[in-house]
Chain A
Amino acid sequence: AQSVTQLGSHVSVSEGALVLLRCNYSSSVPPYLFWYVQYPNQGLQLLLKYTSAATLVKGINGFEAEFKKSETSFHLTKPSAHMSDAAEYFCAVSITGRRALTFGSGTRLQVQP
């Protein structure tokens, strides 16, 4: 079975500061990893995904994540936070042959002016 742990249910940064949202996964087989963002009263939007092509994945809105197998991590980063980045972020894992996503508990990002 797969699982995802997101450290920190709430993260607060200043506008312009580095954003780092942590995600660790557990999977007995090579995983596919995703980061989704959810704005209030909306569904989930894919930020980026890792599907084994490259360990450093660039996504939308300036976000990127690095797959580190040795650390079983897939942390999300953005060099400079913008007010519009305030939202809830979810890390998710799936495996070959199974489309079902297993989500982490989410991290709410607050951006201070």
Chain B
Amino acid sequence: KAGVTQTPRYLIKTRGQQVTLSCSPISGHRSVSWYQQTPGQGLQFLFEYFSETQRNKGNFPGRFSGRQFSNSRSEMNVSTLELGDSALYLCASSLFSPSGGDNEQFFGPGTRLTVL
């Protein structure tokens, strides 16, 4: 079974631009979560989607948004990029169950975004 795929793997943008990152979950996984990883702040939860609906959101400004499509693929968008948005953005997929918290999350390789 193919793993979580993220595109692109590397991206360079300039301040003020916007960017869209894509994530394809493992086949059959309906929940997709996004995380930001930086040297200073570590790994931080951005948001989670299930059935095209945002289920949980982390403590990030409104410039960070996402969506999920009917095939469970997800995109996240960052508008008006700032230097501090430079990070590795990780997508994770999991099976959906009512309990939620015990589901293993399978991570993709990430998209490394550099903002100049």
Contact = CB atoms under 8 A, between A and B. Distances in A.
Contacts, number: 70
A46 B90 CA distance: 14
A97 interface: yes
Interface stretch (A13-21, A37-45, A66-74, A77-85): A37-45
A43 B45 contact: no
Interface in A24-82: 31-32, 34, 36, 41-46, 49, 51
Interface of A is mostly: strand
A98 B56 contact: yes
A111 B103 CA distance: 31
A70 B60 CA distance: 34
B42 interface: yes
Interface residues of B, number: 28
Interface of B: 4, 31, 33, 35, 42-45, 48, 55-56, 58, 90, 92, 94, 98-110
A93 to B, nearest CB: 9
Nearest to B46: A100
Interface residues of A, number: 27
A45 B100 CA distance: 19
Contacts of B48: 99-100
A49 B104 contact: yes
24 contacts: A42-B109, A42-B110, A43-B4, A43-B90, A43-B109, A46-B104, A46-B106, A49-B102, A92-B43, A94-B102, A95-B101, A96-B100, A97-B98, A97-B100, A97-B101, A99-B31, A99-B56, A100-B45, A100-B58, A101-B33, A101-B43, A103-B42, A105-B42, A106-B42
